[in-house]
Amino acid sequence: MHKYYTLTKEEWDRALIHLISQYLFYAPLGEGEQQDYDLIGEKDIPRIIYNQPKPATPLKTFFLPVAENVIAPTSHPTPRIIMGIPACDLAAMNIQDEMYLNRDYLDGPYQKRREATILIGTDCHSIQPHCHCTTYGVKPYPQENHDLSLSLSDQTIYLYTHSEKGRALIKEIEKYSAPGAPTENEIQALFDKREEIERKLNQNNQELPNYQQTGELIDQSDAEIWKRYSETCVSCGACATICPTCTCFLLLERPGFEKVRHLDACQYPGFEKVAAGEDPLRPLYKRFYNRYMCKYVWKPQKFDALACTGCGRCIEACIGKINKNELFQELANH
């Protein structure tokens, strides 16, 4: 049974001291809106950032290392807790799980990491310029793929259990603190804050087409707009590597019976190079166009999950200052 709990911030910090001693504990640290996950020690507890979107690193990096030998015997990973996960990253785990857990091939290393990890999602109490999760049907608060959700308001921590792992973690916290039950007014205040952030996101992105409409617009577009928007692309691959849903990889064979899975990016030159040097995506604008066809047209045909959850990281990471949302709005208004 799912349930709300409350703790004072002081009680929560006291519980964190004990959790840090038992788990690898990751949480967002940083200054202002610049934040990223870090391994937390006791001295870091006062510096943890709450309810701000979004860590620079997507959640997927905890489960898909940049490089790993996939046939080496893997020991069971150290139990860990990841806290402060925004809803856009949690929603992105749907396609990761579908790809690595729910298809014909079960990926052992990925599965072990998922099983050894407790995920604590967080409500977003503010928005950033490129956040557009609600346009694609993702709420700015945890709904799926987490064990606990967390909000901080007026020096009170609100926790909500969402899985057996979450309920077990509450039992651990009860050893060091005394979680109580929020009042109806407190719960209503949390819901009101959620509705406020959702309204702001909808207002900011009211001209942006939704996920299905975007796919239709891309599929019907001509080459000229892709040539124009790709003029400043430098093929760095930042958009794909920072994306919480992208999972392309190379499988490299090395001496000593190694098969190394190495994350790849569709924007790299030679991504689709085949025998005799043929490369259907050699022209840069075709690689650029291919990325969005994959995310908004082909992936929806193959998977039941979103291939873009509206986090906006690709816009923020782009060296060429390419804003995909501006491209999509132009397509919609054409």
Give the model's pLDDT for residue 34.
Answer: 83
Domain boundary among 189, 204, 219: 204
Residue 93 has pLDDT above 90, yes or no: yes
Three-class DSSP labels, the chain: CCCEEEEEHHHHHHHHHHHHHHCEEEEEEEECCEEEEEECCHHHHHHCCCCCCCCCCCHHHHCCCCEEECCCCCCCCCCEEEEEECHHHHHHHHHHHHHHCCCCCCCHHHHHHHHCEEEEEECCCCCCCCCCHHHHCCCCCCCCCCCEEEEEECCEEEEEECCHHHHHHHHHHCCCCCCECCCHHHHHHHHHHHHHHHHHHHHHCCCCCCHHHHHHHHHHCCHHHHHHHHHHCCCCCHHHHCCCCCCCEEEEEECCCEEEEEECCCCCCCCCCCHHHCCCCCCHHHHHHHHHHHHHHHHHHHCCCCCCCCCCHHHHHCCCCCCHHHHHHHHHHC
Q: Which are the contacts of 82, defined by CB distance < 8 A and separation ≥ 6?
A: 26, 27, 37, 59, 62, 117, 118, 119, 120
Residues 217 and 277 both lie in one domain: yes
Q: Across residues 18-33, what is the average pLDDT? A: 91
Q: Across residues 156-160, what is the average pLDDT? A: 95
Residues 186 and 141 both lie in one domain: yes
Give the Cα separation of 88 and 329 in Å (integer).
21
Residues 30 and 108 both lie in one domain: yes
Residues 161 and 89 both lie in one domain: yes
Residues 199 and 215 both lie in one domain: no
Give the model's pLDDT for residue 226.
Answer: 94
CA angle 39, 3, 310 (to 5 degrees): 55
One-letter amino acid for residue 142 of the chain: P
Q: What is the pLDDT of residues 48-69, one digit of tens each?
A: 999 999 999 999 999 999 988 8
Residues 97 and 174 both lie in one domain: yes
Residues 325 and 219 both lie in one domain: yes
Q: Across residues 77-95, what is the average pLDDT? A: 96
Residues counted in the chain: 334
**153: domain range?**
4-204
The number of domains in the chain is 2
pTM: 0.93
Q: Which residues of 280-291 are buried (b: 16+ CB within 10 A; e: fewer)?
A: ebeebbbbbbbb
Residues 169 and 61 both lie in one domain: yes
Give the model's pLDDT for residue 272.
Answer: 74
Q: What is the pLDDT of residues 223-280, one digit of tens each?
A: 999 999 999 999 999 999 999 999 888 888 888 788 899 888 888 887 777 777 777 7
Give the model's pLDDT for residue 71.
Answer: 83
Domain boundary among 168, 184, 204: 204
Residues 165 and 228 both lie in one domain: no
Domain boundary among 204, 223, 256: 204
Residues 99 and 174 both lie in one domain: yes
Residues 191 and 232 both lie in one domain: no
Residues 187 and 222 both lie in one domain: no
Q: What is the pLDDT of residues 185-234, one digit of tens each?
A: 999 999 999 999 999 999 999 999 999 999 999 999 999 999 999 999 99
Give the Cα separation of 146 and 164 in Å (integer).
10
